[in-house]
Structures are given as structure tokens and as C-alpha cells.
Amino acid sequence: MKLFYSLTIVQLLLYVNSGVAQTAGIKSGTIYSLQSGTGGKLLDVSNASMENGASIDMWTNTQSDAQRWVVTSVGKGIYTLTNVGSGKLLHAASLADNAKVDQVDSAVTADTKWVIKKAAKGAYYISPAANPALAINLPEGNVNDGTKVNVSKTAATKWIFRKELPQDAAPTAAIAEQIFDAWYTQYGIETGKGFWDQAEMMEIVLDAYEVTKEAKYADRFNKMYEHFIKENKSDWMYNNYNDDITWAVLFSVRGYLLTGNKAYLEKGKEQFDKMYARAFTNSYGGGLIWYETKTSKNACIEGPAMVACCYLAQATGDKTYYDKAIALYSWSKIYLFNAATGKVNDNIDLNKTTGLIRTGTWSSTYNQGTYLGAAVMLYNYTKEKSYLVEAEKIARYARDTMFRSATMDNEDGGNDLPGFKGIFARYARKYTIETNNTDLVDWLRLNAKVAYNNRNSQQLIQTKWATRTDETKPKSAFGASTAVSLLFNLMPLTTIH
């Protein structure tokens, strides 16, 4: 971003010094938001996209960089408009009536030059320089968020140019705190109900404390812990989901490791030992049952249990917990985890027709994340490089195969999926810091930048990070937690190159 603004300033000086005439009221090199005279919404890159060809639409002002444009003079009354969020140029897809307006790479061509012409006091028309008979237009009566603009020869929208100051892109500490506070307050996270989703959100509060060392987050965690015990009892064995119990163990043991509160450790150890005793069976050669009374053995219990074992070994000094983690990891490599590719499959169970084991091959950020964490922790304990090699493959499988290095924009259905990506972000931080491997950093930064630019005006970000968050508050607090996790867990990585 610094380079981008430096180039903009250089361009401004060149044009001012060359004496190129500019439209009255428009200053080359300045950042503007462009407000429609109809409906009052802003010209916006759809879904804060970073891609060529992304549509230009209208949206409520959310202070997003996707709604800000650097206006640069390239001739008498002629300008380019560069989106601050994407760094791409406003572009007329064609010079036909009602043609699409989109964005393209930063190359000044005939179809990225615009005439800005005074329309009224403080308002302007914007026309393609190659065909000034056309003008950017918001179709009549369409003032809803997401309405796409076009170039029209029969109608022209008046645009109010409002000067804006440069602002930081995500991630920064201030942005993370801003998004945390909006999520925590508006959803009443401190007194939320639920079991595993609440447990995972408690880990996000611990992430904030671990990264910032600010006491307010430890205090919030303690209040959530007390509320969790009140809501979910002190003995969690009534819950048949062994993975649910393990997530509560994780916040308990991590809570101890970060705060020194022994009550957290005592609860976590007690409940993990009970869960493990009932969940471990010799069917399929070992591993933990996901749900009591069922036969399926799922990555969603094996992964968190491996991580919990490692944390318990650190907290208690009892190395037999590492033995359990190693056994579960080795078993997973036979049945669930493809060590050659880094893919973590979802589950195994018996095919009732054939009597043979069948594998559920779906992969998720949840399972990739917990197995990534387990591989890193076991490498740190054993110093066996095979764990490190496998951690790299797990990480790269998520980045390259599952998402093709693009922004994560899925896992939004039901009650559970919306919270998955927050888990991956946590273990991506552990992987990066504890192995000095930076291969995820640029990708995570892209995700943070796009997710933040897709926030709504209440500063909430829903879990499909490459999709603009609707102005109606997202239903899922769990879904809105994932960007909070991303922003905090990426903070220590901002200086890593």
C-alpha cells in the first residue's frame, strides 16, 4: 500500500507540474468515495473482489476500501479511477449502451479513461473518454445494495465526490479490536448459549489474549468460563458428542497455560480423561468414536483430541498424553490422513452392505486446521522431521487444492460449518511461528484484506469472506467469529516476510 500511495503522489506532482487542466473541484491524486445522487449509496467493487472483471455495484457506506477510488488526471478533464482495495482501474467493458462497468489491471488504456464533467454543485457525470455520449448510470429505481451500474446513453447518474483519508488495510491491532468488539457486543458472546460453538468462540477470546497480552481478554474469558459451567454443568459426559467435550477441554487447558488458573486445568484434565476412556475403541484398529452409540470415527474428534493431548502433556508434565497423541496421529495416517498430499478426510465407518470400511472424503478447514496443529506440536516434541514435512503438506493442501490461493468463501451452511475457518486461522499462526515457515502468510493476508473490506456498516463480517456482509445482522455469531479469529491470529505474522 505504501508503494501504491507513493506512486499516486508522484503521478499527482507530474500532472500538476505539466499544467494539465483538471475538472473544477476534482484534485488529481486524491482518494474519493463516489456517492450516488439517487439513493445515496457508494460506487463499490462487488464483494471487494481482487479479480479482473469484477462488477461495480452500489452499496451502503461501510468505510470499505472497496468503496474508495484514487482519481488521477491523465489529460484535460480525463481521469483514471483506481480502486483502493483492489488496486485495479474502473473499466467500461464495452462502449455499447447498458454495457457492464468492471475493474481491470492497472494499465491505462482507452477503456479505463473517464471524463469527469460538472453536473451540478458538488456533483459530476462520469463518462468513458472513448465515448462521452455514454455515462455511468444506476438503473432507475434500483437503489438496493448490490445493484450493478452500467454505462448508458439515455440516462446518467450524478455522483458526489467526497474526499477520503487513507486508512490502514487489515490486519492491524486496531482493526482486530474493532471487529472483535462489534462481534462480542452485538451478539452477547459473554452470555451465549450452546456447547461446542461457544467453546470454540472462547478459544478465540484466548487467541486475543495470547496475541495482545491485554488483561481485558483474560477477564472476558473468565466470565465466559463461569457462564459456560453454569449453562453446561460441571460434568460434560451427558453430551454424546466426544468432539464437543474435547473443544471444551481445549479452552480449559489453554486457559490454564495462558493464565495459570489451576481450576481450568483440573476441569480440562478430568473431562478429557473421562471422554477418552469412553471414546477409544479397538474397532478399525483404534481411534476415537465421534458420537456415543455410533460407530463412525471422524477427523473432527481425532484432530482436537491430538491437540488436547499435547496441551495436557505441556500443562501436567505427563508424557503419556503425548503417547496418546502419537497413537492417534499414526492411526489417522492409516485411515483418515493422506500424508503424501496433506488431505484430511472426514471420517471412516462400516459400509453396511459390504461390511468393509468406507471413507468419507470431504475435507474442511476444521480438520485441516487441527491436524496442522497436531503435526506442528508433535514435531516440536519429537523433533521428527516427518511431522514437519506433513504439516507443510496439510497447510498447502488447504491453500492450493481447497482454495487455489483465493479467498475462503464457503462453509456457511447449518450451525457448525460457519465457524470452521476460525479454527484453521489459529493453527495457521502456530504453524507459521513455530516452524518459521511463511508459505501461508501472503494468502492469509489476502483473506484478511478481502474479509475486512466486506464488512457491513455494523463492523460485522460473515463467514463467507469473499462475499459482502449484508446490512442485516448475520444470524450466526459463530460465523461472524471466523474473521475475528483470522484478524487476531494474523497479527503476529504481519512483520513476517
What is the structure's pLDDT at 349? 97
Q: What digits encode the pLDDT tens for the residues 378-393? A: 999 999 999 999 999 9
Measured distance CA(383)–CA(387) in Å, rounded: 8
Q: What digits encode the pLDDT tens for the residues 399-416? A: 999 999 999 999 999 999
Is residue 163 packed enough to be buried (19+ CB in 10 Å), middle (13-18) or exposed (0-12)?
exposed
Measured distance CA(445)–CA(425) in Å, rounded: 11
Q: What pTM was computed for the model?
A: 0.93
- The mean pLDDT of the chain is 94
Share of the chain above pLDDT 90, in %: 90
Which residue type does 16 have? V
Picking from 164, 186, 210, the residue at the C-terminal end of a domain is 164
Decide: 158 and 125 in contact? Cβ < 8 Å: yes
Say which CATH number the domain at 268 has.
1.50.10.20
Say which CATH number the domain at 151 has.
2.80.10.50
User: Backbone dihedral region of 312: left (phi > 0), alpha (psi from -120 to 50 degrees) or beta?
Assistant: alpha
Picking from 164, 196, 212, the residue at the C-terminal end of a domain is 164
What is the structure's pLDDT at 10? 37
Determine the 3-state secondary structure of 124 from DSSP.
strand
What is the structure's pLDDT at 497? 58
Same domain membership, residue 196 and residue 146: no
Measured distance CA(226)–CA(223) in Å, rounded: 5
Same domain membership, residue 223 and residue 128: no
Picking from 147, 164, 181, the residue at the C-terminal end of a domain is 164
H helix or E strand, kind and range, residue 73? strand 69-75
Same domain membership, residue 197 and residue 340: yes
DSSP state of 191: G
> Mean pLDDT throughout 194-213?
98
Compute the half-sphere exposure of residue 477: CA atoms within 13 Å on the CB side of its CA.
23
Same domain membership, residue 197 and residue 103: no
Measured distance CA(85)–CA(44) in Å, rounded: 10
Angle between helices 196-212 and 173-186 (to 10 degrees): 150
Residue 204, phi then psi, degrees to nearest 5: -65, -40
> Mean pLDDT throughout 231-255?
98
Is residue 244 packed enough to be buried (19+ CB in 10 Å), middle (13-18) or exposed (0-12)?
buried
Measured distance CA(343)–CA(424) in Å, rounded: 14
Which CA distances in Å does 410 have to 1, 365, 449? 28, 10, 17
Measured distance CA(408)–CA(462) in Å, rounded: 12
Angle between helices 365-382 and 320-335 (to 10 degrees): 130
H helix or E strand, kind and range, residue 142? none
Angle between helices 242-259 and 299-316 (to 10 degrees): 30
| In 339-437, alpha helices (H) | 365-382, 385-396, 420-435
Measured distance CA(431)–CA(489) in Å, rounded: 11
Same domain membership, residue 477 and residue 454: yes
What is the structure's pLDDT at 143? 83
Same domain membership, residue 432 and residue 314: yes
What is the structure's pLDDT at 6? 38
What is the structure's pLDDT at 142? 80
Confidence band (pLDDT; 50, 70, 90) for 280? very high
Same domain membership, residue 85 and residue 221: no
> Mean pLDDT throughout 137-159?
90
Same domain membership, residue 147 and residue 105: yes
- What are 446's three cell numbers? 489476502
Which CA distances in Å does 20 have to 67, 372, 429? 27, 56, 49
User: Backbone dihedral region of 339: left (phi > 0), alpha (psi from -120 to 50 degrees) or beta?
Assistant: alpha
Q: What digits encode the pLDDT tens for the residues 67-99? A: 999 999 999 999 999 999 999 999 999 999 999
Check pLDDT > 70 for residue 153: yes
What is the structure's pLDDT at 20? 53
Decide: 479 and 202 in contact? Cβ < 8 Å: no
Measured distance CA(331)–CA(319) in Å, rounded: 19
Lowest mean pLDDT segment, chosen from 8-22, 77-91, 146-160: 8-22
Count of domains in the chain?
A: 2
Report angle CA 394, 243, 270 to the nearest 5 degrees.
120
Is residue 165 packed enough to be buried (19+ CB in 10 Å), middle (13-18) or exposed (0-12)?
exposed
Same domain membership, residue 133 and residue 10: yes
Same domain membership, residue 327 and residue 181: yes
Q: What digits encode the pLDDT tens for the residues 338-357? A: 999 999 999 999 998 999 99
Same domain membership, residue 451 and residue 339: yes
Higher pLDDT, 5 or 465: 465
What is the structure's pLDDT at 38? 84
Check pLDDT > 70 for residue 7: no
Q: What digits encode the pLDDT tens for the residues 30-39? A: 999 999 998 8
Residue matched to cell numbers 464483494: 47
Count of beta carbons in the 10 Å neighbourhood of residue 482: 32
| Domain range enclosing 246 | 173-493
Lowest mean pLDDT segment, chosen from 291-300, 427-436, 487-496: 487-496
Same domain membership, residue 178 and residue 158: no
> Mean pLDDT throughout 329-342?
98
